[in-house]
Amino acid sequence: MRPADTSPEAWAVYLDLVRRMTPAERLQRALEWSDVVQKLLEAGLREKFPRADECEIFLRSARLRLGRDLFRKAYGDLLPDDEPAL
């Protein structure tokens, strides 16, 4: 689905570029974007919790990605339940 702020011509160029990619290239791009999203999440957590060390940032990130119940099963009570899950 074409984004509203993208012209049909630009969207056609984008789709052509994607169609020319090999499956390995598509997977590589997906992994790169996943890494970008993870870094943005961690940057937001660092801004929200400026005193948090790297371990706490990792745990808070994991709790957001896994959800509260699965996080608790995997990590127990390593992180206090001080913030509502997003």
Residues 66-80 pLDDT 10s: 999 999 999 998 887
Burial of 33 from C-beta contacts in 10 A (0-12 / 13-18 / 19+): exposed
Domain that holds residue 58: 8-75
Residues 22-79 pLDDT 10s: 999 999 999 999 999 999 999 999 999 999 999 999 999 999 999 999 999 999 988 8
Query: What distance lies between CA 84 and its chain's CA centroid?
Result: 18
20 located within any domain = yes
84 located within any domain = no
How many structural domains is the chain composed of? 1
51 located within any domain = yes
Query: What distance lies between CA 69 and its chain's CA centroid?
Result: 19
The H-or-E segment that residue 37 falls in is helix 23-48
Cβ atoms 37, 45 nearer than 8 A: no
